[in-house]
Amino acid sequence: MSAPGANGHRLPSVDAVVRSEEGARAVVRFGHPATVAAVRETLAEWRAAKRAPADASLLAAAALERLAEAAAPSLRPVFNLTGTVLHTNLGRAPLGPAATTAAVAAMRGPVTLEFDLASGGRGERDDHVRALLSTLSGTADATAVNNNAAALLLALNSLALGREVVVSRGELIEIGGSFRLPEIMTRAGVHLIEVGTTNRTHLRDYAAAIGPATALVLKVHPSNYRIEGFTAAVPAHALAELTRARGLPLLHDLGSGVLIDLSRFGLPREPTVAEAVTQGADLVTFSGDKLLGGPQAGLIVGRGDLVAEINRNPLKRALRLDKIRLAALAATLALYRDPGRLAARLPALGLLTRPEQEIRAAAIRLAPVLQAAVGAAFSVEVVPCRSEIGSGALPVQTIPSAALAIASRRRGAGRTLLELARALRNLPMPVIGRFAAGRLLLDLRCLEDEPGFAANLAGIGTDPGDAA
Ligand SMILES: *Cc1c(COP(=O)(O)O)cnc(C)c1O
């Protein structure tokens, strides 16, 4: 003897579910075939679970939920409250109105991507960034590709294919797990010649390694680590003297290349691209979406003959920038014409220079809102913290900030802190914080939309422990 509906024969037909009010709504939103498929899956699931019979509209609602879930994009905007401003996993630099407007215009219709309006003939895609990049870095020429890894790959492959590239052992970096300099060099078709030791490399080490097969010397800015203690590295200018004497190019990978001195904004000093050029680099490579504050891109600036060689490489085509990012990059670079207003116009710089008191004031305003949302099982406190610049830039130097620190008040019943963190990530606009010393920290440096944040918290729901 089975309970009514347990074997499924009392469940409504696919057709009845699709024709119900909710079913019709699903058809309008997702189309007939997808709705029928979702209804079939839902019915099969209910049958398998031996669920009690339900009317067609209830089943249709379940199918609609299934469809909405499947249709939700996986690439979603989030609140980055990790305290890492240029968070690589969260898309690095946010773009401002100048860049997004230019990008949207480029997306919508035809643009002068490779078209010269003056002559009516063919233009070059690099022309949109070449002049400004060259001016800002003090070089003869410039080009842009997909990202800095591509810039390095292309520069090495163009100038040193089948030949040797000399690098200090203290500079053989790994960035973000997948970018490892020795592996990039292998794929670029160049032979890595390591010189010196992990902590100390001298000019004589480079001098001894240079031979007839050497194509160039590579210097890498150790952006995401520091070697401290008994150390020695050869300054770029000394290395440049050596490479010039041997008739070899010096390629300097700056990583998070900055175009102007950021210490004028109260930020830690990071070598500028122009400085690397002044110190004698023949080519400098750097990222567009790190401290520069633009879209993902790899910039190469330097000697005209070397950039021309890079542009002749067929790989350039495979690594080039699309019109959307090129538009955003050109608009971002244009902001550098007026450094005085840069912090107000470049979101990345605006966030990095946000005063601690302002962030703290926001934390004080939002603490009661967050406390009400998370419930009595958790305490919410305003605490000082340190933000990181991110994407490997200046990892040791952090900037003072303020956070909402959430701690669990009880053991056993109720949500754990991990469950709360998950609930925050499940909000309509996910909230991403970081754990520190048993607390969940929400660093408010990158929070710009306070009302939006507060309204979003309403979706967190009641604590199952409270409800019990
Ligand atoms: C970040 C970084 C890279 C890689 O740049 P992407 O733009 O992420 O490809 C290469 N070299 C250095 C020194 C870096 O800091």
pLDDT digits (tens, 9 = 90+) for 337-378: 999 999 999 999 999 999 999 999 999 999 999 999 999 999
Measure 150 CA to ligand 1 centroid, in angstroms: 9
Cβ of 390 below 6 Å from ligand 1: no
Out of 48-62, 167-181, 423-437, the most confident range is: 423-437
Per-residue pLDDT at 51: 84
Angle ∠(53,59,63) on CA atoms, nearest 5: 150
Round to the nearest angstrom and report the end-to-end CA distance of the chain. Answer: 35
Cβ of 285 below 6 Å from ligand 1: no
The protein residue with its alpha carbon nearest to ligand 1, atom 3, reads 255
Cβ of 83 below 6 Å from ligand 1: no
Which residues on adjacent β-strands are paired with residue 405?
A: 381, 441
Cβ of 175 below 6 Å from ligand 1: yes
Residue 86 backbone dihedrals phi, psi, to 5 degrees: -95, 70
Per-residue pLDDT at 467: 44
Per-residue pLDDT at 464: 54
What percent of the chain has a predicted confidence (pLDDT) above 90? 82
Measure 325 CA to ligand 1 centroid, in angstroms: 18
Task: Flag whether pLDDT at 2 surpasses 50.
Answer: no
Contact of 272 with 259, CB cutoff 8 Å = yes
Cβ of 298 below 6 Å from ligand 1: yes
Query: Which of 3.90.1150.180, 3.30.465.10, 3.50.50.60, 3.40.1180.10 is the CATH number of 79-87+352-466?
Result: 3.90.1150.180
Cβ of 179 below 6 Å from ligand 1: yes
Q: What is the mean pLDDT of the chain?
A: 92
The protein residue with its alpha carbon nearest to ligand 1, atom 12, reads 255
For residue 151, the ligand 1 atom closest to its alpha carbon is: 9
Q: Where in the chain is the domain with CATH 3.40.640.10?
A: 97-343
Q: Where in the chain is the domain with CATH 3.90.1150.180?
A: 79-87+352-466
Task: Flag whether pLDDT at 168 surpasses 70.
Answer: yes
The protein residue with its alpha carbon nearest to ligand 1, atom 7, reads 148
Task: Flag whether pLDDT at 86 surpasses 50.
Answer: yes
Cβ of 392 below 6 Å from ligand 1: yes
Which residues on adjacent β-strands are paired with residue 399?
A: 387
**Residue type for position 171:** E
CA distance 356 to 344: 17
Per-residue pLDDT at 20: 94
Measure 192 CA to ligand 1 centroid, in angstroms: 18
Task: Output the CA–CA distances (angstroms, integers) from residue 127 to 72, 116, 224, 286, in the order listed.
Answer: 39, 9, 32, 18
Closest C-alpha among 130, 122, 201 to residue 167? 201
Whether pTM > 0.85 for this model: the answer is yes
Which residues on adjacent β-strands are paired with residue 443?
A: 403
Q: Identify the H or E element spanning 378.
A: strand 378-387
Closest C-alpha among 203, 212, 237, 221 to residue 393? 221
Task: Output the CA–CA distances (angstroms, integers) from residue 114 to 46, 111, 318, in the order listed.
Answer: 57, 8, 16
Per-residue pLDDT at 411: 65
CATH number for the domain formed by residue range(s) 97-343:
3.40.640.10
Contact of 100 with 345, CB cutoff 8 Å = no
Range in 44-48, 352-356, 383-387 the model is least confident about: 44-48
Q: Which two tokens stand for residue 164?
A: 């040797």
Per-residue pLDDT at 177: 67
Higher pLDDT, 189 or 398: 189
Cβ of 168 below 6 Å from ligand 1: no
Q: Outline where DSSP puts E strands in 149-297.
A: 164-168, 174-175, 179-180, 191-195, 214-220, 250-255, 283-287
